[in-house]
């Protein structure tokens, strides 16, 4: 027996959603659910497609996951020769997952008559709303298998850095224009940080986050500093736009225009979508611009924010979509939020357990302490 829930199906199997009342219970539930995803993912893809109601039949399901995050991604071949992409997940909150995809779907609608009409991988909908499949422990969503162009090289040239900056500046500008037409979201960097600080104050914080007492103290102090900064700059009044945040080279493609550079062609992977300050996008552009390139062996050091090639990126961006001095001064805090929220607070939801443990320790012992002596002078040179 099943019943309609939102835009998908909720099967009444007597279990509870994977949205535990505490980080500890949520983590335990997610571990159980992730094991189910590992065992039943292909079944889930086929069950979701059947429930979606498309008459085309799935003839094959191939996994295309990066095997870095906890999500599983599959390309399903259909009997008419086309393909569809399915993401299966069990970590975090299904309800936030749906909310994000609802806002993304609205973004696609609002960008339909702009040059970005085909940029974002289309999310499949049903009856005018995003379609998701959900059985209270796992969930799935379908995307059109977006056409992919050329991927930028691991070490990007100075000219391509400027080109990319100009493209992103234009994309951000279009996102700013549609932002007032988007519904608000349940999360914000201020709300997330307040919740995280509360979690860090709990007596079981070391167990919940897998960190030592000194590490928890470091993270707690850094979170407090971040919230103090938000208050001092009246961050609540800053412009918020839809952003994608994770701009590693494997998440987007470009189309070359001969000697005239390139244009952004397609973008996929929406794991870290949110509506917030555009500054949250910039750390990943510093990694892409880095002289060492966008590496497959992950580290999340802040040093790339001060590299000359990232300054080149910022200057090119600024010439198209101006940045204020206040925004440039906030860049280290935008990076701080990324480390606090995505690496430590929610790292176990996004990364494999071995990578998550590694990243958390590095964040507490290396990256956050480095911010105490972070000199923003090179960033302010963008305004000269």
Q: What is the mean pLDDT of residues 299-308?
A: 93
Residue 262 — very low, low, confident or very high, per pLDDT cuts 50/70/90?
very high
Residue 75 carries which DSSP code? E
| Mean pLDDT in residue range 83-94 | 92
Pick from 38-42, 136-140, 226-230 the range whose average pLDDT is largest. Answer: 226-230
**Residue range 106-127: mean pLDDT, rounded:** 96
pLDDT attached to residue 17: 34
Q: Tell me the two tokens of residue 178.
A: 């549609």
The chain-wide mean pLDDT, for the chain, equals: 89
Q: Closest by alpha carbon to 18, among 144, 113, 148, 134? A: 134
Identify the CATH number of the domain defined by range 158-383: 3.90.1200.10
Q: Which of 33-37, 240-244, 346-350 tops mean pLDDT?
A: 240-244
> Residue 28: is its pLDDT beyond 90?
no
CB environment 34-48: b (16+ within 10 A), e (fewer): bebbeeebbebbbbb
pLDDT > 50? residue 353: yes
Report pLDDT for 92. Answer: 82
Q: How confident is the model at residue 35 (pLDDT cuts 50, 70, 90)?
A: low
CB distance 26 to 18 below 8 Å: yes
Q: Which helix (H) or strand (E) holds 5?
A: strand 2-5
CB contact at 8 A, 124 and 52: yes
Confirm whether pTM is higher than 0.95: no
Statement: residue 352 has pLDDT above 70: yes
The Cα 206–Cα 214 span in angstroms is 9
User: What is the reported pLDDT for 40?
Assistant: 85
Q: Cα–Cα distance between 72 and 356 in angstroms, integer? A: 17
Beta bridge partners of 125: 130
- Whole-angstrom Cα distance, residue 155 to residue 295? 9
38 has pLDDT over 70: no
Residue with the two structure tokens 């599983």? 72
The model's pLDDT over 312-326, given as tens digits with 9 standing for 90+, comes to 999 999 999 999 999
Phi first, then psi: give them for residue 62, nearest 5 degrees. -120, 130
Q: What pLDDT is stored for residue 182 in this prediction?
A: 98
* pLDDT in the model for residue 21: 30
The boundaries of every CATH 3.90.1200.10 domain in the chain are: 158-383
As a whole number of angstroms, the distance between CA 237 and CA 228 comes to 15
| Bridge partners, residue 76, by sequence | 61, 84
Name which of 168, 169, 125, 124 is nearest 146 in CA terms. Answer: 124
Cα 383 to Cα 307: distance, rounded to the nearest angstrom = 16
Instruction: Give the count of alpha carbons within 13 A of 352, CB side only.
Output: 9
User: What's the sign of the alpha-carbon dihedral 203, 209, 212, 213?
Assistant: negative
Q: Which helix (H) or strand (E) holds 298?
A: none
State mean pLDDT over 225-237.
98
Tokens of residue 254, six digits: 């470009």
pLDDT for the residue 334: 98
β-pair type (274-276, 129-130): unpaired
List all residues 6 or more positions away from 359 whose beta carbon is below 8 Å from its beta carbon: 298, 300, 343, 344, 347, 351
Q: What is the predicted pLDDT for the residue at 5?
A: 35
74 backbone dihedrals φ, ψ, rounded to 5°: -130, 145
User: Is the separation of the CB atoms in 353 and 30 below 8 Å?
Assistant: no
Residue 77 pLDDT class (50, 70, 90 cuts): very high
User: By three-state DSSP, how is residue 309 classified?
Assistant: helix
Q: Once rounded to an integer, what is the mean pLDDT over residues 66-93?
A: 89
Nearest partner of 119 among 76, 172, 159, judged by Cα:
172
The arithmetic mean of pLDDT across residues 182-188, rounded, is 94
The token pair that represents 165 in the structure block: 């900056």
């Amino acid at each position: 027996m099943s019943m309609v829930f939102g835009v998908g199906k909720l099967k009444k199997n007597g279990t509870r959603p994977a949205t535990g009342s505490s980080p500890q219970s949520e983590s335990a539930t997610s571990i159980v659910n992730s094991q189910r995803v590992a065992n039943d993912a292909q079944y889930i893809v086929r069950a979701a497609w059947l429930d979606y109601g498309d008459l085309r039949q799935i003839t094959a399901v191939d996994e295309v996951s990066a095997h870095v995050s906890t999500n599983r991604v599959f390309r399903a071949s259909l009997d008419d020769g086309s393909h569809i992409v399915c993401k299966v997940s069990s970590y975090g909150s299904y309800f936030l997952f749906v909310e994000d995809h609802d806002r993304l779907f609205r973004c696609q609608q609002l960008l339909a008559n702009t040059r970005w009409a085909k940029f974002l991988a289309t999310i499949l909908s049903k009856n005018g709303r995003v379609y998701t499949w959900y059985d209270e422990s796992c969930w799935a969503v379908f995307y059109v298998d977006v056409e992919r162009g050329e991927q930028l090289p691991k070490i990007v040239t100075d000219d391509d850095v400027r080109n990319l900056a100009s493209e992103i500046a234009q994309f951000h500008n279009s996102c700013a224009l549609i932002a007032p037409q988007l519904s608000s979201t349940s999360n914000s960097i201020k709300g997330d940080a307040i919740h995280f600080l509360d979690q860090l104050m709990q007596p079981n914080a070391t167990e919940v986050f897998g960190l030592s007492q000194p590490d928890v103290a470091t993270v707690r102090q850094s979170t407090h500093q971040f919230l103090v900064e938000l208050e001092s700059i009246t961050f609540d009044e800053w412009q918020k736009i839809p952003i994608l945040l994770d701009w590693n080279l494997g998440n987007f493609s470009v189309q070359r225009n001969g000697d005239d550079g390139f244009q952004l062609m397609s973008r996929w992977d929406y794991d870290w979508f949110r509506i917030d300050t555009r500054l949250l996008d910039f750390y990943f552009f510093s990694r892409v611009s880095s002289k060492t390139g966008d590496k497959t062996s992950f580290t999340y050091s802040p040093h790339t924010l001060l590299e000359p090639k990232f300054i080149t990126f910022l200057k090119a961006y600024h010439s198209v979509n101006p940045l204020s001095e206040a925004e440039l001064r906030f860049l280290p805090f935008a990076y701080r939020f990324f480390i606090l929220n995505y690496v430590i607070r929610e790292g176990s939801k996004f990364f494999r357990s071995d990578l998550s443990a590694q990243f958390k320790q590095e964040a507490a012992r290396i990256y956050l302490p480095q911010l105490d002596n972070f000199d923003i002078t090179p960033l302010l040179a963008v305004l000269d």
